Amino acid sequence: MKKILLCLMIFFPLSVFASTYDDMANELLKKIPAKDKTKVLAVMPFTSDKKFASDAVIAAEEMTKALINAGAAVSERSQIDKLVKEQELQQVGVLTNEDAGEIGQGLGAKYVILGSLSEINRYGEEGNIGLKINVKLVVSSNYKVLAAASGEALAGDASSRYRRKAPKKAAEYPQFLEVFAGANLFKYTGDYDGTDVEYDSTAGFSAGARYIHESKGFFTSGWEFVYSTRDYDKTITKFDSYKVSWVPMIRIPLWEYMPALPDYTSIHLGYSIGLGINNVTYTAGTVEEDSSGVGICTSAIAGLRLGFSDTVSFFGEFRYAPSFFNNYYRSHKTPGDNIAVSEEETGPSVYFGISLTP
């Protein structure tokens, strides 16, 4: 499963991964006084354990890019590396504020940025979970620390190495605007003034949209609209329904328990309950009759959401409409009379959709 997810992430556009370096760069730059906004910065080589040496190089490069994108003037990497080598500081392994400040003065940089990487440790978890990145802004002339920031990068971010935002808390979810479509297999039962009518399970099509509220905790809810259409036997030409329902859910954040998974990858369980309107067209020979009804509709829900970024995720969902609380009541017109009809639809549905976070 993890291999499949990693392959998907590799071929998915890298732009969907938000950069924690942008967040850290903005956090540092906002502490620089307005009169020094145009002054040159120098990003020192990041320090780390030997096994993360290559990752430290990547982190320093990404930090430099983020500062440039934020509008800062940054010293050339080659000039920085040259001074570090000349002073034989690369052999020390850890740059002090004083060492970095002196290099900054030699480059004509008003400020220097130091960074370090360390392995993430979580209780009950082992292996390559990810890295913690710490950065600080130091004044070159007096070695004073002006600001500090940090971020995390999980090892599962194979296609965008160490560029991920710090993980969300398990109890926090944003708003979701979701659109979905799928197939259903409903069985029809009707009571026509004491006469039972039943049609075998028939395949149909459904589509809808859902708005899920922002929430804290595993419980959340929202509202949805679903349109469904299907044909039953040869007597009912078309059966359309329009439903507006309230959808309470429990969502389990899998990405918190399996770090290789992207954010918002989760299981959701819930149900929908609301009001529905059905439009039924009957055909008997050359006679075609239309009627409409209103009723209560509900279904149990179980689904899996696969997150790809802070703004986009995909989901699959299974539903089942039970035989209770899926009743419609209408007045069916016949050539000489009106017949009171009580009817219900039961059966499974499978939906696939996309979630967008504002």
| Higher per-residue pLDDT: 338 or 318 | 318
Whole-number mean pLDDT of the chain?
77
Q: How far is CA 69 from CA 29, 41, 152, 157, in A?
A: 12, 13, 20, 22
Instruction: Give the chain's domain count.
Output: 2
Tell me the pTM.
Answer: 0.51
197 and 338 part of one domain: yes
pLDDT interval class at 16 (50, 70, 90): very low
pLDDT the model gives residue 15: 32
pLDDT the model gives residue 240: 85
Could you say which of 102, 121, 154 is where a domain stops?
A: 154
Q: Which of 346, 295, 55 is nearest to 188 (CA)?
A: 346
What is the average pLDDT across 274-290? 76
Quick check: 274 pLDDT over 80? yes
25 and 67 part of one domain: yes
pLDDT the model gives residue 227: 93
Using alpha carbons only, what angle is made at residue 248 by residues 244 and 253, rounded to the nearest 5 degrees?
130
Could you say which of 127, 154, 181 is where a domain stops?
A: 154
244 and 298 part of one domain: yes
Both structure tokens of 108: 């004509």
pLDDT the model gives residue 246: 95
Among 10-14, 31-35, 74-78, 230-234, the minimum mean pLDDT is found in: 10-14
> Is 73 among the domain residues?
yes
> Each residue of 126-143: pLDDT tens digit?
555 678 889 999 999 999
114 and 196 part of one domain: no
> Each residue of 178-189: pLDDT tens digit?
999 999 888 877
pLDDT the model gives residue 270: 93
| Residue ranges making up the domain that contains 124 | 2-154
| Higher per-residue pLDDT: 29 or 356 | 29
As a whole-number percent, the residues of the chain with pLDDT over 70 amount to 73
218 and 78 part of one domain: no
Quick check: 164 pLDDT over 50? no
Quick check: 13 pLDDT over 60? no
Sorted by sequence, the CB contacts under 8 Å of residue 110 that are 6+ apart come out as 36, 39, 40, 41, 104, 139, 140, 141
Q: How far is CA 160 from CA 16, 17, 20, 132, 260, in A?
A: 10, 7, 11, 16, 13
Q: Which amino acid is at 356?
A: L
Cα 330 to its chain centre, rounded Å, is 42
> Each residue of 101-120: pLDDT tens digit?
888 898 899 999 999 888 77
Phi-psi bin for 7: left (phi > 0), alpha (psi -120 to 50), beta? alpha
